[in-house]
Amino acid sequence: MTTLALNNVRPYGEDVLNLLIDVTSGTIAEVSDTPFTDADEVIDGEGNVLLPGLVDMHVHLREPGREDTETIATGSDAAAKGGFTAVFTMANTNPVIDQPFLAEAVWSKGQEYGKCDVYPVGSITQGLEGAQLTEIGLMARSGVRMFSDDGKCVNDPQLMRRAIEYAKAHDVVLAQHAEDHRLTGSASAHEGEQAARLGLRGWPRVAEESIVARDAIMTRDYGGRYHLCHASTEGTVELLRFAKSQGIEVTAEVTPHHLMLTDDKLATYDGLFRVNPPLREARDAEALKQALLDGTVDVVATDHAPHGSEDKCVEFEHAKPGMLGLETSLAVVHRIFVETGLADWRFVAKVMSERPAEILRLEDQGRPIAAGEPANLVLVDPDSSWTARGEEMASKASNTPYEGIEFTARVVGTWLRGKTTYTEKDSQ
């Protein structure tokens, strides 16, 4: 067998250990207090933090249809550079992923490239038109684990009820983009003082919260596994907390940008900060942080959304919503939770790897760092200062909202089933 030694690493930021990886089988062969010296390749981890490979439940890789902004290949590169070994790419492509053969093509292309497991998300409705359900059963049999009309909400309550029932029958996750379109219209900013000051049409919290409440009740009555995309308000946190207290099978994600950024960023009218749902106020960000800490919100998901400059360097209300996230998410979570002492690396592993893998029932992702487990791993230097620059991203696009911000945690290596998919020298 071909072997790789990862010596002098700190799993979960704890005691120093050494790993011997069987690259042939893609598993961790042995964990020891003693360094391995006879492996085919030996890497000195220099005391850096080792985590299970990250899992992102929510990305947009734009292929098919907008390969000018991202492809499965460039998105996989960005994922590997960010420490991810699995991502779920949303269905709002052109054509929409609403047929089994399209989902199978996305999966096959990701596997062929080999940098990251790229799971296709099937659309809930045909063409994302909100009128007729897709063949959820056929797509589930083709391996689709999650369905979403992300970018749009399934506003029709009768259609959403049927979707919940079908999803339950096929034991797949239904992920909702919670937005009552009748309340948002042409809104581009959070409804608050900042939007009023800037003359931007406001997007009220109730547009999200009303859908969350409706869907939680439907899930209570009709069952199934319901997942909320990009929770963004204090009220949504309260609704999720109530739903979970009632035993409703609801999970939720929060994005790094909704944790770190607020609507004060809109003062310059920079289209980089246009996102859906919009950046909210400080009290919303604080509520989301606490909800992630106490488990009311389950995971961090990036909502990685590449756009070209022609879609961002325009008037704010005309800018396309979305931000890059794959290459900065770990650094953002580290800054908010680990640097401040709010949480440790075990928490990071939970919300960025273990819990998303559990929700999506991935057998070989988000696993413990132990002998016999899959060698899906990320090595992080927690004391390596770097500055986010869009032009230096592995993504095909450059629309990062963190331009010029300095972070202190950097991914230095990523392995997918023992195969090296990224090392720090790749970006030098």
If DSSP codes are grouped into helix, strand and coil, which group holds residue 112? helix
227 is in an annotated binding site: no
Distance between CA 253 and CA 100 in Å, rounded?
Answer: 26
61 is in an annotated binding site: yes
Structure-block tokens of residue 131:
């009128």
307 is in an annotated binding site: yes
Distance between CA 355 and CA 251 in Å, rounded?
Answer: 10
Give the rounded distance of the alpha carbon of 400 from its chain centre: 15
258 is in an annotated binding site: no
**Catalytic residue (choose from 56, 149, 298, 303):** 303
How many other CB atoms are found less than 10 A from the CB of residue 165? 14
303 annotated active-site: yes
In 3-state terms the chain splits into helix, strand, coil percentages (rounded to 5) of 35, 25, 40
If residue 109 lies in a helix (H) or strand (E), which one and from where to where?
Answer: helix 100-113
426 is in an annotated binding site: no
The DSSP letter of residue 316 is G
62 is in an annotated binding site: yes
Identity at 87, one-letter amino acid code: V
Q: What is the 3-state secondary structure (H, E, C) of 40-59?
A: CEEEEEEEEEEEECEEEEEE
| 57, 365 Cβ separation under 8 angstroms | no
321 is in an annotated binding site: yes
Distance between CA 106 and CA 123 in Å, rounded?
Answer: 14
With the C-alpha atoms ordered 138, 139, 145, 149, is the resulting torsion angle positive or negative?
Answer: negative
Residues in the chain: 428
92 is in an annotated binding site: yes
Distance between CA 228 and CA 298 in Å, rounded?
Answer: 10
230 is in an annotated binding site: yes
Number of alpha carbons in the 13 Å side-chain half-sphere of residue 385: 3
190 is in an annotated binding site: no
Annotated binding site for Zn(2+): 58, 60, 150, 177, 230, 303
Q: Which residues are catalytic?
A: 303
Annotated binding site for substrate: 60-62, 92, 276, 307, 321-322
Annotated binding site: 58, 60-62, 92, 150, 177, 230, 276, 303, 307, 321-322
